Chains A and B, each alone.
Chain A
């Protein structure tokens, strides 16, 4: 590991002042489960690392004063989210956290850190850059775990966050702050992610001196209860990343879906909102055939690479089973 300077500020204002506007000069450290490995392998070589875990503004779950939303501090640990009484009804979020299936990751990873996890692409992790020579290494090489959507440009990695599909399905918004504490913008969580077009960009829209401070979740309304679920297709037992994932939220009235939002994970450089498939669910009762039709629609425009066509079927299955799971129907798959 290269050496670097280190700071562990307590206030958001101090945190932002410690971050450099120059890309790569400073890195934000949260739980450490991702960044410390990247530092050790010299994939990232910042001059300064700033630990956000003690920043007070990034802690806890708060009701937003105007009502209608909960603000989740980005430095909260995943096990704290899982056990928080105000978050009980967000089923997809809990299923995604449980899906990590490692006590250590649940206790150590933070909400913001998990959402900003760097891609697991083995070319990126081996030091070939986020795009791996403009995508050439991935196009010509071993791309079995790479993107099956949105992969025509140089970016062919898959978005690494396992909470993002669930939170996007739940209509979460991201609160970004910086470079000054007064500069604050709120974006739908799906807009936090971008498909980079060159090595000067990363996989989120965060500037080097900007931080993800909070996640806003719409508060459950008793008159329009939302059912949600997350489903991951995994290789087997073990801490590996899923091969495909999906999450969905369904607003069901009198047995009929009024609103639906289906999101695929691990299939594109960003979490992928499946609009067409979501629309197929609206106005109908969820049953096996309807869920399968939506699953097929979710992957209809997939463009697999040379070695990952198998992921198309896995993504279809993940979408179908997430929908069935949210509706309380048997998925036909293995799931804890």
Chain B
């Protein structure tokens, strides 16, 4: 593979203007040219990483070292290096939601994030997220019997926390739509719904 590290100028004798095709191209080029400031000096930048490398991940308030390959997912690091086994490996494509974690506060699927792509991000797993608000989300799940085999539960707990942080006064329809990214094969949805409704109303323990 060509290992070019810098863009070379067009080989032919055309001027730059020649390469702007389509209505609005010149205006779009202006936007692209003026977007973004100086690249940060400490950013990973254009470095190509191959093979094993040691990285630092910021997980649950701690900086932790992991040895990863480019193909290593965040879920694999959490489970097999950090022993944070709450996030579950269910679906390769993240469609189950069982590996939901918070990345800079937003719910994402650890199974579809490469570990290298979340350097510099704040990662929170269910082990930390479930403690928030005095553990109100797990308490509601227990109160309303919102799990059966429990395998999907950690993903649900993180998703519920992220959903409630953004939608504290959600309606039932909004809860159903908002938690659509988590799948429970036991079919505990009705009880999960009741638990979240209780949390919106002030929690099972007030």
Which residues of A are interface residues toward B (Cβ below 8 A)?
Answer: 1-14, 16-18, 20-22, 25-26, 29, 31-34, 36-37, 39-41, 47-49, 51, 53-57, 59-60, 62, 64-66, 69, 71, 73, 77, 79, 98, 101-105, 107-108, 173, 175, 177, 180-187, 213-214, 216, 237-239, 336
Contacting residues, chain A, for B117 (C-beta < 8 A): 8, 29, 32, 51, 53
Q: Is the CB of A239 within 8 A of B32?
A: no
For B22, list chain A residues within 8 Å (CB): 173, 185-187
Q: How far is the CB of A58 from chain B (nearest CB, A)?
A: 8
The one of B26, B32, B48 in contact with A5, judged by C-beta atoms closer than 8 angstroms, is B48
Q: Which chain A residue lies CB-closest to B108?
A: A108
Instruction: Note all chain A residues with C-beta closer than 8 A to B108.
Output: 104, 107-108
**B contact face: mostly helix, strand, loop, or mixed:** loop
Nearest-CB distance from A333 to chain B (Å)? 15
Q: Which residues on B are within 8 Å of A, measured CB to CB?
A: 1-2, 4-10, 16, 19-32, 35-37, 39-40, 43-51, 69-71, 73, 91-95, 97, 100, 103, 106-109, 111-114, 116-117, 159, 162-163, 173, 176-181, 183, 189
Q: Provided the pairs A7-B48, A41-B92, A103-B181 are in contact, do residues A17 and B31 lie with their beta carbons within 8 angstroms?
A: no
B10 touches A9 (CB 8 A): no
CA of A40 to CA of B163, assembled, Å: 29
Whether A34 contacts B23 by the Cβ 8 Å rule is no
Complexed CA–CA distance, A4 and B114 (Å): 12
* Nearest B-chain residue to A36, judged by Cβ: B112
In the assembled complex, which residues on chain B have CB atoms less than 8 Å from the CB atom of A3? 50-51, 69-71
Q: Which residues of B contact A20 (CB under 8 A)?
A: 1-2
Judging by beta carbons under 8 Å apart, are B109 and A33 in contact?
A: yes
Contact A17-B112, Cβ < 8 Å, known A103-B107, A105-B181: no
Contacting pair B106 A107 (CB below 8 A): yes
On whether the beta carbons of A33 and B93 are closer than 8 Å, the reply is yes
Q: Which residue of A lies closest to B181 (CB)?
A: A102
Cα-based distance from A60 to B178 in the complex (angstroms): 25
Q: Using known A-B contacts A6-B116, A105-B181, A186-B21, determine if residue A57 contacts B35 with beta carbons closer than 8 Å.
A: yes
Task: Give the CA-CA distance A65 to B26 in the complex, in Å.
Answer: 10
Beta-carbon contact of A173 and B93 below 8 Å: no
Contact B46 A14 (CB under 8 A): yes
Residues of A within 8 A of B178 (CB): 101, 103
Q: Which of A1, A105, A184 contacts B20 (CB 8 A)?
A: A184
Shortest CB-to-CB span from B80 to chain A, Å, is 14
Q: How far is the CA of A1 from the CA of B75 in the complex (A)?
A: 14
Query: Do A34 and B93 contact each other (CB < 8 Å), given the known contacts A9-B46, A60-B35, A182-B10?
Result: yes
Q: Are B36 and A184 in contact (CB under 8 A)?
A: no
B49 in complex: contacting residue of A5, A41, A71, CB < 8 Å: A5
Evaluate whether A36 and B113 lie within 8 angstroms (CB atoms) in the complex, with A69-B24, A104-B94 already known.
yes
Q: Are B36 and A11 in contact (CB under 8 A)?
A: yes
Contact A69 B27 (CB under 8 A): yes
Query: Which of B73, B181, B189 sits near A101, CB closer than 8 Å?
Result: B181
Q: Which of B6, B22, B25, B116 has the most CB of A within 10 A?
A: B22
